[in-house]
Amino acid sequence: MSHQPPQPTPTVTFSARVPSRAWGIRREDFWLAAGYFAVFWILDAVQFGAGTEFDLPLLAKNWPFFAALGCIGVLLRRTATPVMAVFCGSAAVMLLLGNHPAALVLVFELFFSLVLFGSIRVSTVAASSAVGLSVLLTLVVLAMTGRAEPTVVAAAMAALTLLMPVEWAGNLRKAHRLAESESARAEAVRQSAEHRLLADRSAHELALERERQHMARELHDVLSARLSAIALQSGAALHTPSPHGRVLAQIRTESVAGLDELNTMIRLLQTGALDEVAGNSADLPSLLEQYRLAGSVISFDSSLNDVGDLLPPQLQTTVYRVAAESLRNAYRHSPGTPVTISLNIAREFGPSPEIVLVVSNPLPQRTPEARPPASTEGEAPALLPHPNESIDGTGTGIPSMHFRAAHASGTLTVGARSGWWVVELRLPATAEPRPSSEVSRKGAAA
């Protein structure tokens, strides 16, 4: 049977034993009562009297009991002010009859606590009583002695023990009330500012809601009708003999997909609820086929299983949108140049994997004759910008890609590198995809 070694007893200081609050009594009141009793003991040791003609031996002999009663009253000055008044008042009378100087200190504390901690009515009555007692004491001494010297002394003692604590406590009470008033005013100002902010925010949201409803109506009435017409006409054209069947099928597929995306945007504008927006990494092969039918030479390499279908939806949408914008820019600004796309997992920058999409193409030679190679199966679909159009864009493509990358906690690098135009997207792989058994998928135009 093992024996535990004796544990050392922790050292507890006296200040740690005194609780900050016990029965509602603060620590500073404990120290004040103890300090008062120590002062009373010192005054008795030096035989300092209260300056009265009374000196009852029985009361003078038992002064520690009355002093302790007064100190107990000091402990209760915040929590039970009426009880404090009874204890301190009784102790002061007994000590005064025993000619002990502790009586003057307890009278001082009595009026100070009544004015500072009592109710408004108690504070007012205590202040008036102090003034009345001071005047009464001065008149009594003058009437009994008929001399100026003892009268002045009595008036000074009354001022020190009655008027001074009342004035001091009154100033402190006013300061506390002023601080509470300022705090209440600051709180009212803060709440008013919050209400104004909520009102402004509500007005702003209402204006945004009206604008969204207006945009939704315009999109539905104009663009939705046009895309629906394209889908219907291309669907009808598929049922007629034509050597451009694949191109027509791609046109119909893209127009229907565009109509779905447009309807999703309309619902978003109308309700504010973000549905799953069309466009994810699984749609990349269809996107590449669209450009291949238009005559572009595209090489695609991916080490992700099913082109990254295990990625979170937000990352898939970001990959698809950046790839689509990069292909559109390459088709518009570098017609006829081959495009290389890679989608892989990168681990060289730390233990956390990253999804890296790289879209690159050779920088074009700026000549008027530059044209993309003609498709063997027909002209470019209407959904793609024609190479004969102006190469000036709207200027929103690259900033939009930067915004999507930042929104997905990723980074985007766009620029020329050794004769190539490179778009590199890096996204944190929060859900690590499985590497494909088929390490790469490559395709080129026929």
**C-alpha span between 338 and 330 (Å, rounded):** 9
Judge contact between 356 and 426, C-beta under 8 A.
yes
- Mean per-residue pLDDT, 135-153: 88
pLDDT of residue 358: 94
Q: Indicate whether 425 belongs to any domain.
A: yes
Could you tell me if 151 and 292 lie in one domain?
Answer: no
Segment 85-102 mean pLDDT: 87
Q: Residue holding tokens 């740690």?
A: 16
Question: Across all residues in the chain, what is the average pLDDT?
Answer: 76
**pLDDT of res. 350:** 56
Structural domain of 420:
287-364+395-446
Residues 148 and 28 in one domain: yes
β 339-346/298-302 pair status: parallel
Kindly indicate the confidence band of residue 286, based on its pLDDT and cuts at 50, 70 and 90: confident
- Cα 340 from Cα 323, distance rounded (Å): 11
Q: Flag whether 231 is in a domain.
A: no
Of residues 32, 44, 157, the one with CA closest to residue 101:
44
Could you say which of 191, 217, 247 is where a domain stops?
191
Do 163 and 302 fall within a single domain?
no
Q: Kindly report, residue by residue over 301-327, the tens digit of the pLDDT.
A: 888 766 556 678 888 888 888 998 888
The pLDDT of residue 86: 92
pLDDT, tens digit (0-9, with 9 covering 90-100), for 67-91: 899 899 888 888 888 898 899 988 8
pLDDT for residue 253: 72
Q: Do 54 and 174 fall within a single domain? A: yes
Q: Which long-range contacts (CB under 8 A, 24 or more apart) does 409-414 make?
A: 410/318, 412/322
Q: How far apart are CA 171 and CA 192, in angstroms?
A: 31
Nearest by Cα to 227 from 268, 250, 260? 260
Lowest mean pLDDT among 74-83, 176-185, 397-406, 423-432: 423-432
DSSP letter at 435 equals B
Percent of the chain surpassing pLDDT 90: 17
Distance of CA 274 to the CA centre of its chain: 24
Q: What is the mean pLDDT of residues 267-282?
A: 64
Q: What is the pLDDT of residue 331?
A: 80
Tell me, yes or no, whether 8 lies in a domain. no
Q: How many helices (H) and strands (E) does the chain have?
A: 14, 7
Indicate if 186 and 320 belong to the same structural domain. no
161 with 307, same domain: the answer is no
In a domain, 60, yes or no: yes
State both tokens at 287: 């996107």
Give the whole-angstrom CA distance, residue 356 versus residue 342.
Answer: 8
Of 135, 164, 191, the residue at which a domain comes to its end is: 191
Q: Residue 337's domain is classified under what CATH number?
A: 3.30.565.10
Distant-in-sequence, close-in-space partners of 260: CB < 8 Å, separation ≥ 6: 278
Question: Quick check: is 319 in a domain?
Answer: yes
Residues 167 and 309 in one domain: no
Domains in the chain: how many in total?
Answer: 2
pLDDT value for 359: 94
pLDDT in tens, 32-64: 888 888 988 888 887 765 555 556 777 878 888
pLDDT of the residue at 439:
35
Asked which of 170, 191, 212 is the last residue of a domain, the reply is 191
Q: Which position has the token pair 């597929």? A: 253
Query: Residue 352's pLDDT is what?
Result: 73
Residues 178 and 297 in one domain: no
pLDDT at position 330 is 86
User: CA 226 to CA 251: how far, in whole Å?
Assistant: 13
Average pLDDT over residues 353-378: 65
Judge whether residue 230 has pLDDT over 90.
no
**Looking at per-residue confidence, does 2 or 427 come out higher?**
427
Does 171 share its domain with 58?
Answer: yes
Give domain status of residue 162, yes or no. Answer: yes
Q: Looking at the domain assignment, is residue 335 inside a domain? A: yes
Handedness of CA 254, 260, 266, 269 (dihedral sign): negative
> Which residue would you say has higher pLDDT here, 208 or 23?
208
